[in-house]
Amino acid sequence: MKILVTGGAGYIGSHSCIELAASNHQVVILDNLCNASLVSIARAEKLAGTRFPLHRIDLRDGEAVHRLFEREHFDAVVHFAALKAVGESVEKPLDYYDNNVVGSIHLLQAMRAHGCKRLVFSSSATVYGNPDSVPVNEDAPLRVTNPYGRTKLVTEDMIRDACAADPQFSAILLRYFNPVGAHPSGEIGEDPRGIPNNLMPYICQVAVGRRDHLGVFGGDWPTVDGTGVRDYIHVVDLARAHADAINALEYARHPATTLNLGTGQGISVLQLVRAFEQARVRAFEQASGRKVPCEIVARRAGDVAAVYADPRRAKEVIGWQAARGVDEMCVDAWRWQSRNPEGYGAA
């Protein structure tokens, strides 16, 4: 199929373009590069051995999105493009609604106008908020706690409504848990701008010497060691799920099916730090290398103790399950970070 990948220059999008190409799909990228670099596309093309033509379009520009669908026929869309920083969304909620919700409306309108009937959407485990129990399955109550999460839930609802209104329209909504790691080549990976909000990129930047220690947000959570527990998932496994979802849509209708993407394993902050240190020693023989000094600091506003997935539905519906463990996540994250200490910026 010919697939439009919105946000295809970004962290998860660039890995997913490679997996879609490996599944013999033709990939076209739409990205405004507000949080990505052209270098990621060039490197992903090299890894995939094929071209990923880029349309530098902002989804908020409905006319431009429309014109693209007029010029090219797409069989399906994988929709990653969004702003994703929770804290920033609290400060600038309207920017988030504008970018993530209005952008998605333009995309859905263009798809409807041009008869494109298959969609895979990037949602997030953030829609579960503080779950009553773990592991969380897809039927758990939805309780978003910040504007970013609300943009995801509103977009999920719009897609469900679009599916209900058009029996031919088919969509898979993927709720990611905590994507980490990088392509095993070390050529593409996560390149956050400024101070990382997320744990793994922060650990990597401490390890590479860009920051001197990790602040651990709370040491008194009701968890195995008092630190927060999450379900980390290797970005290549996550990327493969998009190819599996697209392939499932090629042959069957999925009236707005929602799937969790996680490993089902909960890992604490300190367990991840130790795993990272050990993986580094084992894989890179950097026994005398820099440790990751940690300091317990105050809890972060809005954080929750433990969230991890029940990922069984993804296996039943699209035949997907995570294959890579925490060791591989850490080795690949470090390979990317150590070869690209300044991310794509220095390339």
- Give the interface with ligand NAD as residue ranges (CB under 6 A): 7, 9-13, 31-36, 58-60, 80-84, 99, 103, 122, 124, 176, 179
Q: Quick one: which of 121, 202, 276, 320 contacts ligand UDP (CB under 6 A)?
A: 202
Report in angstroms how near the CB of residue 180 gets to ligand UDP at its nearest. 8
With 0-12 CB in 10 A as exposed, 13-18 as middle and 19+ as buried, what is 114?
middle
Task: List the one residue out of 140, 184, 185 whose CA is nearest residue 308.
Answer: 140
Kind of pairing between the strands at 229-230 and 267-268: antiparallel
Among residues 7 and 181, whose Cβ is nearest to ligand NAD? 7
Q: Is 212 helix (H, G, I), strand (E, B) or coil?
A: coil
Q: Which of ligand NAD, ligand UDP, none does residue 33 bind (CB under 5 to 8 Å by kind)?
A: ligand NAD
Among residues 17 and 219, whose Cβ is nearest to ligand NAD? 17
Q: Tokens 């429309």 sit at which residue?
A: 66
Q: Which of ligand NAD, ligand UDP, none does residue 35 bind (CB under 5 to 8 Å by kind)?
A: ligand NAD
- Alpha-carbon distance of 322 to 310, in angstroms, equals 12
- Alpha-carbon distance of 159 to 177, in angstroms, equals 20
Q: Which of ligand UDP, ligand NAD, none does residue 275 bind (CB under 5 to 8 Å by kind)?
A: none
Q: What is the DSSP letter of 282?
A: H
Binding mask 264-303 for ligand UDP (x = CB under 6 A): -----x------------------------------x--x
Q: Which of ligand NAD, ligand UDP, none does residue 61 bind (CB under 5 to 8 Å by kind)?
A: none
What residues are labeled active site? 148
Q: Does 228 bind ligand UDP (CB under 6 A)?
A: yes
Structure tokens at 195: 């101070």
- Closest residue (Cβ) to ligand NAD? 10
Q: Does 213 bind ligand UDP (CB under 6 A)?
A: no
Is the CA virtual torsion 42, 47, 49, 53 positive or negative? negative
Q: Does 103 bind ligand UDP (CB under 6 A)?
A: no
The alpha carbon of residue 326 and the mean position of all alpha carbons in its chain are separated, in whole angstroms, by 17
Q: Quick one: which of 87, 141, 167, 215 contacts ligand UDP (CB under 6 A)?
A: 215
- Alpha-carbon distance of 242 to 318, in angstroms, equals 10
C-alpha angle 340/344/345, rounded to 5°?
Answer: 105
Specify the stretch interacting with ligand UDP by CB under 6 A; choose among 27-35, 96-104, 193-201, 284-292: 193-201
Q: Is 174 helix (H, G, I), strand (E, B) or coil?
A: strand
Give me the residues that bind ligand UDP (CB under 6 A), please: 178, 197-199, 202, 214-217, 228, 230, 269, 300, 303
